Structure 1
Amino acid sequence: MTSPTVRVSAAGFLLAAAVACTSNAEPDPPATSPPVSTAQPSPSPSAGNGAIAAYEGMWDAVVDASRDASSDHPELDKYATGDAAALMRQGMESVESSHVGKPSHDLTVKSAKPNANPSRVELRDCQDGSEWRPKGDPPSDQKDIRVDATVVKDALSWKVSALRIWGPGTC
């Protein structure tokens, strides 16, 4: 499972560097309150993990369906709903032959709302689908495909509700 990307602000480091570089010739400035951070608290890791698990589960169901060129998979509704489920079903209907391999994912949590107890997470995937291909075909050029996903939590589980899949070379 891929972990959500964590970004750390360098503001504290820059403030410390600026203080360390001040000249000793001038008197120290009067003590002030420490700077107040306006950054939003990070979303809970469980929100990102739940959203990622739903996203990866959705793709696993689609890959399983592609193995026997079926147009549906019973697990899809467990991980996707609405437009995302419709898009995945539409893609499965166009599969004409059994597939091998599977896409790989490089996921980032872009946002989670509300911060305290997220029920909506935006993911960005840089997918490599070059090894997921019809049986007997060589690897394809389906690399670096940007996928933007919205994953929502209802009372029971996380589900992918919206997807935007860009073309190769878009991430």
Structure 2
Amino acid sequence: MDKAKQAALAAYRGMWQDFVSAGITSDWQSPKLGQYATGIALTNLSRSLYADHYNGLVTKGEPVLNPSVSSVDPPDDPTKIIIADCGDSTHWLKYRADNGQLADNEPGGHQLINAIVQKQVDGSWKVSDYGVHDVGSC
């Protein structure tokens, strides 16, 4: 089970790392996005990047993640793992692509993130859904 937990946490971190990389240019078509995300999670990542691209925004910096496993299902041979995180977006903000200015006056901060990571048919683990709550939620 520890191996499954480690694989799920690695997929979660990998998803955000790929999202950070794509966010630098708002590359909503980045093939990397599907490496650790699938289903609703992948759709949400792509849509978010497309909206930024459409609105002339890019994202600079990196979030600070501190994920932990909150549940495994089934316990003896997990295929679904729930991750809870208190991500810090203080140094991961949106900027205007044309002039490099901050997109808004909204500071980043600590945000509760819940994610579902599922074992795929090929044995890999991918984030299938996630939710990011408001700044100050953790």
Distance, in Å, in 2 between the alignment partners of 1:47 and 1:61 is: 21
Distance, in Å, in 2 between the alignment partners of 1:139 and 1:80 is: 30
Unmatched 5+ stretches in structure 2:
none
Q: How many residues align?
A: 128
**Identical residues among aligned pairs (%):** 29
| Alignment of structure 1 residues 130-169 onto 2, 5 Å | 130-133=90-93, 134=95, 135-137=100-102, 141-156=107-122, 157-169=124-136
Q: TM-score under structure 2 normalisation?
A: 0.84
**1:102 maps onto 2:62 in alignment:** yes
Among 120, 124, 128, which residue is 2:84 paired with? 124
Q: Decide which structure has the larger Cα Rg and report it.
A: 1
Distance, in Å, in 2 between the alignment partners of 1:124 and 1:64 is: 22
> Quick one: higher RCO (CA 8 Å, sep 6+), 1 or 2?
2
Over 3 Å counting, the alpha-carbon distance change for 1:164 and 1:84 in structure 2 is same
Unmatched 5+ stretches in structure 1:
1-43
Q: TM-score under structure 1 normalisation?
A: 0.69
Letter in 2 for 1:163: Y
Distance, in Å, in 2 between the alignment partners of 1:46 and 1:72 is: 31
Q: Which structure is higher in strand share?
A: 2
